[in-house]
């Protein structure tokens, strides 16, 4: 059941990206180009999404579990650390280079665009490099802890 | 001074699309108890699999990929253009993948869900990636063009 629900929600999310213009990298870059002919449309995408999100997370905050009785897996991290800031900066630079973030990347893959396919491959590689990098730094940490 | 491109400004569809994105995020938290952060959902597939934690991620990603196929049947697809060259796309993809995982989120996880949860951490992340995006486009189009 969760699989079917997730598939349908993914479809709704993807259609939202298409309707909103987020699925058009040229439009995303026009939004990020404050010094050029600025297209402010995407500010309204955030506005619409957050308006619904605010209500949903308010309701979720008062529930003991999800409506289907599943645990509410809210993020627990609170600290604003170097990882958060460096990671977000790198992500922002990549987003500014091509105008594509992870959701729209998958939508572009579905349109059959060869460039979308290449972007998704590179993005998955970047994520895999992160996983490897994490594993390495954890192993190093364990090694230095053992040496103490 | 900022010049607004009124010709390409599409407030109604932007808002409508935003509401749909918000609806999806709302459904995922209220039904499944999960945060609709795309980089986290996909990135979780590239880690050692935990039991019962793979299928829903794949299904969600499949929904995103299938969205344009479904959309095409129901309505005309809006225009979409990727102007970047191949090398730029590869570098951008690597940065987006690595950066969003290191920073624990992207436009959806921090920008939509995090801000909706009024999380200061997500607000900081969103300010940083938006600023980095603005600066990168400014550098590419106006400084080194």
Interface test with A, best of B3, B98, B134 (most A CBs within 10 A): B98
B24, B114 Cβ separation under 8 angstroms? no
CA distance linking residue B77 with residue B96, whole number of Å: 25
Closest CA to B29 of A54, A21, A104: A54
CA distances from A72 to A58, A77, A88 (A): 13, 15, 25
Q: Do B99 and A90 touch (CB under 8 A)?
A: yes
CA distances from A76 to A57, A83, B103 (A): 15, 15, 14
Q: How many Cα atoms sit within 13 Å of B22 on the Cβ side? A: 24
A13, A103 Cβ separation under 8 angstroms? yes
**pLDDT given at position B49:** 86
Contacts across the A-B interface (CB distance below 8 Å): 491
Residue B95 parent element (H or E): helix B86-102
Q: Do A87 and B104 touch (CB under 8 A)?
A: yes
CB neighbour burial string for B92-120, b if at least 16 within 10 angstroms, e if fewer: bbbbbbbbbbbbbbbbbbbbbbbbbbebe
Q: Which residues contact B24 (CB under 8 A, 6 or more apart)?
A: A9, A10, A12, A13, A16, B36
Reading chain A (148 residues) residue by residue, the pLDDT tens digits are 899 999 999 999 999 999 999 999 999 999 999 999 999 999 999 999 999 999 999 999 999 999 999 999 999 999 999 999 999 999 999 999 999 999 999 999 999 999 999 999 999 999 999 999 999 988 998 888 887 6
B74, B68 Cβ separation under 8 angstroms? no
Q: Do B28 and A9 touch (CB under 8 A)?
A: yes
**pLDDT given at position A51:** 98
Give pTM, 2 decimals: 0.95
Interface test with B, best of A106, A128, A138 (most B CBs within 10 A): A106
Residue A37 parent element (H or E): strand A37-38
Closest CA to B60 of B46, B73, B41: B41
Torsion sign over Cα A125, B103, B45, A48: negative
CA distance linking residue B103 with residue B106, whole number of Å: 8
What pairs with residue B33 in β-bridges? none
pLDDT single digits (tens) B26-48:
999 999 999 999 999 999 999 98
For residue A28, the distance in angstroms to the closest alpha carbon of chain B comes to 10
Q: Do A92 and B136 touch (CB under 8 A)?
A: yes
Residue ranges of domains in chain A: 2-147
Q: Which residues contact A92 (CB under 8 A, 6 or more apart)?
A: B99, B128, B129, B130, B131, B132, B133, B136
- Say what angle helices B55-74 and A102-110 make with each other, to 10 degrees: 60
Q: Do A110 and B78 touch (CB under 8 A)?
A: no
Reading chain B (145 residues) residue by residue, the pLDDT tens digits are 789 999 899 999 999 999 999 999 999 999 999 999 999 999 999 998 888 899 999 999 999 999 999 999 999 999 999 999 999 999 999 999 999 999 999 999 999 999 999 999 999 999 999 999 999 999 999 998 7
Select from B32, B81, B83 the Cβ nearest to the Cβ of A2. Answer: B32
Backbone Cα Rg of chain A: 19
């Amino acid at each position: 059941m969760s699989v079917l629900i997730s598939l349908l929600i993914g479809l709704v999310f993807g259609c939202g990206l298409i309707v909103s213009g987020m699925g058009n990298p040229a439009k995303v870059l026009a939004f990020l180009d404050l010094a050029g002919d600025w297209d402010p449309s995407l500010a309204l995408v955030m506005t619409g999404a957050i308006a619904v999100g605010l209500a949903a997370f308010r309701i979720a905050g008062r529930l003991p579990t999800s409506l289907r009785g599943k645990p509410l897996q809210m993020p627990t991290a609170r600290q604003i650390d170097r990882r958060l800031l460096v990671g977000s900066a790198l992500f922002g630079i990549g987003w500014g280079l091509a105008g594509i973030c992870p959701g729209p990347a998958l939508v572009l893959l579905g349109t059959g665009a060869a460039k979308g396919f290449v972007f998704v491959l590179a993005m998955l590689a970047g994520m895999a490099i992160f996983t490897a990098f994490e594993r390495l730094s954890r192993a190093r940490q364990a090694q230095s802890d053992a040496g103490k | 001074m900022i010049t607004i491109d009124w010709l390409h400004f599409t407030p109604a569809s932007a808002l409508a699309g935003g509401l749909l994105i918000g609806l999806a995020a709302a459904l995922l938290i209220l039904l499944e108890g999960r945060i609709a952060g795309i980089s986290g959902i996909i990135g979780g597939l590239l880690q050692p699999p935990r039991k019962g934690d793979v299928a829903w991620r794949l299904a969600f990603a499949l929904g995103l990929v299938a969205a344009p196929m479904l959309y095409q049947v129901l309505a005309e697809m809006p225009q979409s253009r990727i102007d970047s060259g191949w090398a730029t796309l590869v570098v951008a993809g690597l940065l987006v993948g690595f950066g969003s995982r290191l920073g624990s989120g992207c436009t959806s996880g921090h920008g939509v869900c995090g801000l909706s949860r009024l999380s200061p951490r997500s607000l900081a992340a969103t300010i940083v990636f938006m600023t980095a995006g603005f600066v990168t486009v400014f550098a590419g189009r106006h400084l080194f063009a």
